[in-house]
Amino acid sequence: MRSPPLLWPAAPRSTRILFLARFAPDDPIYAVKPEGIASGYAEYHFRLFEALQSIGYSVASSSKPYAALVAGGNVDFVFSLLNRMKLRNPELLVPSICTYLRLPCLGAPPNIRALAEDKYLSKLAFAALGLPVAPGRVYLPGGTLEPPEFAGPYFIKDRFGAASEGVTEASLQDDWQGAVPVVAGLQAGGKEVLVERFCPGIDITVPVLPHSPYLVLGHVAPRSDKVGGILTADLKTDDRLGNEMIDVGAATAAAIEDDVRKVWAALGPIDYFRLDYRWNPATGQRFLIEMNICCYLGVRGAFGMAGERLGYSRTQLLAHVVEYSLARQRGAQAHTSWVI
């Protein structure tokens, strides 16, 4: 079956893009930046910058969030992957600035971004939509460490962590006695901690592209050599094991398609996103863990791998996402007015 065509700009030079990312090139040095311990991200951000240019867009670039503040009237679209800053919920800063400036920005409205970035509130939202989620409980800094209302084994993580930040092999604990020091350690660092019932199986991620109304690109399994098949921060950062396309079977594929339909109806439209699951191949049982907006677009990531299987290059995916986002937001703010 032939893959459906993707959007492509008719006159790309007429679209001025501001590309924002931690390692985006800054004028006047347009080259790959040194990155220290953040393995791979400098190369990734620079190649995205080059890919946007190769489409024909007029691309300015910055690694500084304040570039968004002066973007109004100077650019037509902000392509922001700037989501690692030393503030609470940094993913919301640039979309909120762009909303204030009435400037189209990659991703989704700030309220939807906020829901997706909160791993606990999104869990409650998914449960309300009838999607399968594992039980969880939040532990605030300084809060008591009484056991949750559900039995172990337990999986412990930062409620707002990105790219499995802070997840180690110690995040998986058989009982509450083992979980307490791990939770306390995150609390001591000022983190809000999410404790979930651990779901046996493997991680699978489902990349979704907006289309008519959306297109599930496939099912991708990030490889893990850790106990329980968990994805730790070092695996996410180094990506030394990579990903693989997997066949989840007709029943699970249909169930995931229905999950995507419900998420899209409640939270869409979204420029692109991933749903991340734990799936047990032996039983077919699945649990939706989280949703990621403005996620990784590397050629060896879930989008790149699943897109290639359908005949889409990473450049085609980028162009489609930008053109869809521009169309989604065109005129969407015409009804707003300044209130002083």
∠ Cα 88 93 98 (to 5°): 165
Asked if the model's pLDDT at residue 29 lies above 80, the reply is no
Reported as type and span, the H/E element at residue 291 is strand 286-293
Amino acid at 191: K
| Gap between the Cα atoms of 147 and 129, Å rounded | 27
Tell me what the mean pLDDT of segment 11-29 comes to. 91
Q: What are phi and psi of 207, to 5 degrees?
A: -75, 135
What are the residue ranges of helices labelled H in 110-155?
A: 110-117, 119-128
Domain boundaries, the chain: 12-106, 114-132+200-325, 136-197
Task: Count the residues in the chain.
Answer: 340
Please spell the DSSP secondary structure of 294-323, one letter per residue.
S----TTSHHHHHHHHTT--HHHHHHHHHH
pLDDT band at 334 (very low <50, low <70, confident <90, very high): low
Q: How confident is the model over 283-313, as pLDDT tens digits? A: 999 999 999 999 999 888 899 999 999 999 9
Query: Structure tokens of 328?
Result: 């989604």
pLDDT of residue 73: 87
The answer to whether residue 2 scores a pLDDT higher than 60 is yes
CATH tag, 12-106: 3.40.50.20
Q: Taking 60 as the threshold, does the pLDDT of residue 338 lie above it?
A: no
Burial 293-331 (b: 16+ CB within 10 A, else e): bbbbbbbebbbbbbbbebebebebbbbbbbbbbbebbee
Helix axes 110-117, 119-128, angle to 10 degrees: 100
How many Å apart are CA 204 and CA 222, to the nearest integer? Answer: 7
The pLDDT-based confidence of 153 (bands split at 50, 70, 90) is very high
Q: What is the dihedral of CA 265, 267, 271, 272, to 10 degrees?
A: -90
pLDDT single digits (tens) 158-168: 999 776 677 88
Cis peptide before 207 (omega within 30 of 0): no
Helix (H) or strand (E) holding 99: helix 93-101
pLDDT over 70, % of the chain = 90
Whether residue 197 is predicted with pLDDT greater than 70 in this model: the reply is: yes
Residue 337 has pLDDT above 90, yes or no: no
Mean pLDDT of the chain: 90
Q: Let me know: does 86 contact 24? Beta carbons within 8 Å.
A: no
Candidate from 26-30, 239-243, 312-316 with smallest mean pLDDT = 239-243
Residue ranges of alpha helices (H) inside 145-249 are 176-188, 233-238
- pLDDT tens string 71-124: 888 999 999 998 776 767 778 899 999 999 999 999 999 999 999 999 999 999
- pLDDT band at residue 340, thresholds of 50, 70 and 90? very low
Beta strands in 39-87 (DSSP E): 58-62, 77-80
Structure confidence at residue 164 (pLDDT): 66
Residue 329: phi and psi, rounded to 5, are: -95, -5
For the cut 70, the answer to whether the pLDDT of residue 251 exceeds it is yes
Span 195-201, average pLDDT: 95
Please tell us whether the domain made up of 114-132+200-325 is placed in CATH 3.30.470.20: yes
**Rounded Cα distance, 215 and 324, in Å:** 13
Find the angle CA(91)-CA(95)-CA(101) to the nearest 5 degrees.
150
CATH of 136-197, one of 1.10.10, 3.30.1560, 3.30.1490, 3.40.50: 3.30.1490
**Contact status, residue 326 vs residue 76, Cβ threshold 8 Å:** yes
Instruction: Decide if 262 contacts 131 (C-beta within 8 A).
Output: yes
Tokens of 231: 């994805």
Let me know if the fold of 12-106 is the same as that of 136-197: no
Could you give the maximum distance between any two Cα atoms of the chain, in Å?
A: 61
- The pLDDT tens digits for 4-16 are 999 999 999 999 9
With a CB cutoff of 8 Å and minimum separation 6, the contacts of 76 are: 15, 16, 17, 104, 326
Positive/negative CA dihedral, 175, 159, 116, 220: negative
pLDDT in tens, 33-83: 776 545 578 889 999 999 999 999 999 999 998 899 998 889 999 999 987
Kindly tell me the sign of the dihedral angle through the C-alpha atoms of 293, 297, 301, 304: positive
